[in-house]
Amino acid sequence: MVLQSFLRASGVAALLALTAGCVSIGAFNRFTPHDPGARQLAHALAYGEGARRTLDVYAPAAGAEGAPVLVFIYGGGWRSGVKEDYSFVGDAFAAHGFVTVIPDYRLAPETQFPGFVEDAAEAIAWVEANIAAYGGDPRRIVLAGHSAGAYNAMMAALDVRYAAAAGFDPSALRGVIGLAGPYGFYFNNPVIGAAFGDAPDPANMHAISFARADAPPLLLLTGDADRRVPVRASEEMARAAQEAGGQAELIIYPGLDHPGILQALAPARRNRAPVFADALAFAERVTR
């Protein structure tokens, strides 16, 4: 039914574009099949002041009580993105037993670093304080993110100053899943400059700087065909975590590019690589 509607609305060329991964994430979200067995419990709940500081909550359709929680932070180069375009991610993890939260956050040019990381931390604080009312366990939270969102998640989890400022307990974070994240980067990219400003301080801006032995376990996922965020970003994050005495697992998927690793969370793309299966198994293991 979804496929027929898409063909009537957009024609064969649009279908080919969707199949090739050449459309926006919003179009992908609208037309790709979602996991059954999930429902959205809440839309645009405020976790802070301003239009961009709201979040959506998804849960198993049968209900949840004391369920593990997954907070997903989307990417977009710190310049674009809306949580509604990622409901396929909310449905995926909710259908498999997780109360799932997807926040919006401030973007450039409205804010620069550390504003978007502060927003991630405040969203986590909201989850810890409020998620029990939606069937989630505030002591069993997994963070996940893609691209710039993976950076935000990693920084909020590793640099304990964000937890202290937002007021959440770092021990509530049981694990972090990073999909193709830039955890240590060069500042000669205009996208980076717009988000991080003209006076970068790598020691405070690179997630790899905050690797530590008592950090939550990390799962770092990336594709060897990614031309936007190179594989070495995940390799360096894994190495930094391990050298600091922490736990980090790295998985590199052959032939998977930057949008492809995100799209592989959706049912129709899971035959490309076991991204969702690996992420789900990790989330279940660390929250067990």
Looking at the annotation, which residues are catalytic? 147
Nearest to 221 by CA among 191, 263, 268, 267: 263
C-alpha span between 120 and 98 (Å, rounded): 19
**CA atoms of 273 and 22, how far apart (whole Å):** 18
Using CA atoms, how far residue 113 sits from 105, 109, 136, 151, 213, in Å, is: 12, 10, 30, 11, 25
Helix (H) or strand (E) holding 139: strand 136-146
At 264, is the secondary structure helix, strand, or coil? coil
Q: Which helix (H) or strand (E) holds 126?
A: helix 115-130
Kindly list the strands in the beta sheet with 173-179, ordered across the sheet, starting from the edge strand earlier in the chain: 38-46, 54-60, 99-103, 67-73, 136-146, 173-179, 218-223, 248-253
Distance CA 16, CA 20 (A): 6
The DSSP element (H or E) to which 99 belongs, if any, is: strand 99-103
